Structure 1
Amino acid sequence: MSLDDERNDGLYGGSGETRTRLPEGEGGGQDGYGGPRRSGRSSSRSLVTVVGVVVLLIAAIAFANRGGDEGSSGGGGGDKKAGADPTAASGQKPVDGKTSGIPSGFAKSEQGAESAAANYAVALGSADMFNKTTRDSILQVVMAPSSVSTFKARLDKAYGAAFFKNVGLNEDGTTPKGYQFVSRTTPIGTKVTSLSGNKATVEVWCSGLLGLAGEQSTKPVTNSWFTMTMKLGWTGDDWKAVTHSQKDGPAPVPGDDRASGSDEITKAVEGYGGFTYAR
């Protein structure tokens, strides 16, 4: 099975990178006499102060009014229509429990389903998925009991010698000596497309890293973009993934970032840990 097949089967997404450009400032110029431009700060300082006070007042009013909206996103009772929520702190406490290193104990609510899907996407896209022992442990935590055996069989077949070779690993899935294997998934945003009773469907837009960091690597670490769709079920006292699938994109226009050397990538992977997600 080729790497492209695995991308279509829900393992990895398409490639792409993004970069935000800010408009260049106009400061530091000169007037017609060769001297620095005058900004008129003294004449506008009072206006800036007034505007600042008004903005702070509006922000305070908006923050105070948020208290009456918290109940609208809770509970698993009514049907949820497709839509995106603003990426902002909800004021609700995030989960503080973990099972095998993976966050657990999510609330039976829209935000709880989003947080579960985002955290499960991180686990399913990690380097631990390339080792059968740790992969089985991850599936035991994130998947619903009725789905564990099915996904174990499917992924045992997918993570075979041919696939390992395609990503630069040894045939048994181990990392070649002198290299750093990288596989990480970072959720960019989540969207609940349905929520009713004990069922929820959540889409997670992700950016991923995959490859081998090393001086002679023929499989350098590359960036990809994909969307993972998870159908969750409320099992016992937590959300669990019943099924999950993946498609390429949306991918932003690639930027002109200078590619970092293998040593810099290795240090970044070793020096920066992953995240626990909660809205």
Structure 2
Amino acid sequence: MKLVRYGDTGTEKPGLMDADGTLRDLSAHVADIAGDTLSDAGLDALRALDPASLPVVQGNPRIGPCVGNIGKFLCIGLNYSDHAAETGLAIPKHPILFFKANSAVVGPNDPVVKPRGSTQTDWEVELGVVIGTAAKYVSEEDALDHVAGYCIVNDVSERHFQTQLTGQWTKGKSCDTFGPTGPWLVTRDEVGDPQSLNMALDVNGKRMQTGKTNTMIFTVAQIISHLSQLMTLHPGDVISTGTPPGVGMGKKPHPVYLNTGDKMELWIDGLGQQTQIVFEDE
């Protein structure tokens, strides 16, 4: 299934994309794409519905973040060996973890706004993992059973804030609008193997990133298992699993960063597309 949240910011409604690509309303069946809806039982209940019986959503509404009421937004750094190489950093022995503030989360096609003082705003296409059932001390073998589904995340980053302001990476990762998420939450049964997905990102029509999830240093199962040894993962938590090479800070001979008016387009196999225009904060 492809689950969607649509409507104005803060008042999104739950929806489903049917096999023909028609957006249908789920409001009569669930309050949101969040919480218990993401459990195996909750998803099975939605699968039992006949999509043709659901009301068609009229017009062209805004598509919001595909998960409501996100609990934790966890991000994995340097999880592709070729991306680590382009940044000049060593391959990590364990998953590098940082957090993105939930206030950064926006819809997949909402504007990305450069914060005041930003000179190094960068792009990062990533596979997002949405937790469906609580995970604590889980094995790698059982880890994917705790996944509700997958989505696209653009881990937008301000590199000066991230690396030059004293503190953690979170400073450069949590600016408002720096977490476009969606368009759909695609359930794990429809995605299959999360380590076989192609991904790409263009800026102004020029291909910047091309990658495949089979080149991750730590697999999705390894990441979930590792994190679950440290904290309980709850339904609605989102894990952004790292980016392939081609980010702006790694461009040679000089880094390339986003400017006002630039257009980002992102794809991952089976998970849809995002498009964002960059604006300057007032």
TM, length-normalised to structure 2: 0.27
> Could you say which structure has the larger radius of gyration?
1
Normalized per residue, the structure richer in helix is: 1
TM, length-normalised to structure 1: 0.27
